[in-house]
Amino acid sequence: MKLEGVSVAGIETCIEVPALRLVLDMGRCTRGAVQQPVVLVSHGHLDHMGAIAQHAARRSMLHMSEGTYLVPAAVARDVEELFNAAGRLDGQAIPRRVVPLSPGEPFPLSKGRWVRAFETYHRVPSQGYTVWERRHRLRAEFRELPGARLAELRNSGVAIEEARDVALLSFTGDTRIEVLERTPELQQTETLVMETTFLDQLVTVESARGMGHIHLSEVLERAPLLPRGHLVFSHFSARYSAEDVQRIVRERLPDELRPFVKLFGAGGEFTA
Ligand SMILES: [Zn+2]
Ligand SMILES: [Zn+2]
């Protein structure tokens, strides 16, 4: 799944997912992000949501549908107040839809697709999100049958298909590593966008935890829990240049994880 935008710890995070018509966090309102009507907000730190009013106002100016902002229920009221204050400053109300979403609660995106929040562990109220899709396939006992026979069975009312829910994309936002053990869907998801703020001894695991973030060492210790689709490390500390990130991850990554890992930083996505 193609991701665009930016993500640097403490500076700005705004990750566009055009295929799903949504954006992960809104710390900066990029041109591409304005096109996407739904924003999944992981928490209230300004580098993750400081540009929501701009996003909503720009959509309105361009005569687009109002933006929808899914936010942790604990911050919904403050988010509304932020929109109200921004509207007063701007001299006009800002059309938007703020949706307080609690972990486990589904929000429909399109036919057969929905998003559900999961708990994360940061310094302020926070949550991550998974986009789910319901897919249908033939039940095992019918898979060898010719098409004509299947049509016959279907017409006679036999349920020849079964539904299964597939996790398309999961986004952790800012969190400590516990999220990986406590959220089983992260091990199955097709694309996992995970913060990996600190990468080496520049910051210890202990102080990374103190700041409510993940250290690469913690990720590598949990390799068996990582999904084998696309694993996107993001939200690197501003202390690392893009070259540092590439070099350190390349040095530290075991061969078994190499094929799955992508990096997402100041200039969008790049390879390890
Ligand atoms: Zn952050
Ligand atoms: Zn944060």
Q: For 207-228, how does the pLDDT look when each residue is reduced to its tens digit (9 = 90+)? A: 999 999 999 999 999 999 999 9
Q: How far apart are CA 206 and CA 208, in angstroms?
A: 5
CA 8 to chain centre: 15
- Which ligand approaches the C-alpha of residue 27 most closely? 1
- The whole-number pLDDT of residue 269 equals 87
| 115-162 confidence digits (pLDDT tens) | 999 999 999 999 999 999 999 999 999 999 999 999 999 999 999 999
Q: How far apart are CA 62 and CA 209, in angstroms?
A: 42
- The whole-number pLDDT of residue 265 equals 94
- Which ligand approaches the C-alpha of residue 126 most closely? 2
Instruction: Detail the DSSP E strand segments found in 43-139.
Output: 67-72, 96-101, 106-110, 113-119, 127-138
Mean pLDDT of 14-19: 97
Mean pLDDT of 4-27: 97
- The whole-number pLDDT of residue 272 equals 74
**Strand order, beta sheet including 4-8:** 4-8, 12-17, 22-24, 38-40, 67-72, 96-101
Q: How far is the CA of 10 from the centre of ligand 1 (A)?
A: 5
Q: Which two tokens stand for residue 110?
A: 């399109």
Q: How far is the CA of 44 from the centre of ligand 2 (A)?
A: 7
| 22-63 confidence digits (pLDDT tens) | 999 999 999 999 999 999 999 999 999 999 999 999 999 999
Q: How far is the CA of 129 from the centre of ligand 1 (A)?
A: 15
Long-range contacts formed by 209-212: CB under 8 A, 24+ apart:
209/176, 209/177, 211/123, 212/121, 212/122, 212/123, 212/174, 212/175, 212/176
Note residues around ion ligand 1 (Cβ under 5 angstroms): 174
What mean pLDDT, rounded, does the chain reach?
A: 96
Sign for the pseudo-dihedral over CA of 133, 182, 271, 197 = positive
Write down the pTM of the prediction: 0.94
Are 120 and 72 within 8 A, CB to CB?
no
Number of DSSP helices (H) and strands (E) in the chain, helices first: 9, 14
Share of the chain above pLDDT 70, in %: 100
- The whole-number pLDDT of residue 267 equals 86
Are 120 and 42 within 8 A, CB to CB?
yes
**How do beta strands 106-110 and 113-119 pair?**
antiparallel
- Which ligand approaches the C-alpha of residue 10 most closely? 1
- The whole-number pLDDT of residue 165 equals 97
| 79-119 confidence digits (pLDDT tens) | 999 999 999 999 999 999 999 999 999 999 999 999 999 99
- Which ligand approaches the C-alpha of residue 9 most closely? 1
- The whole-number pLDDT of residue 271 equals 81
- The whole-number pLDDT of residue 70 equals 98
Count CB neighbours of 251 within 10 A.
Answer: 10
- Which ligand approaches the C-alpha of residue 47 most closely? 1
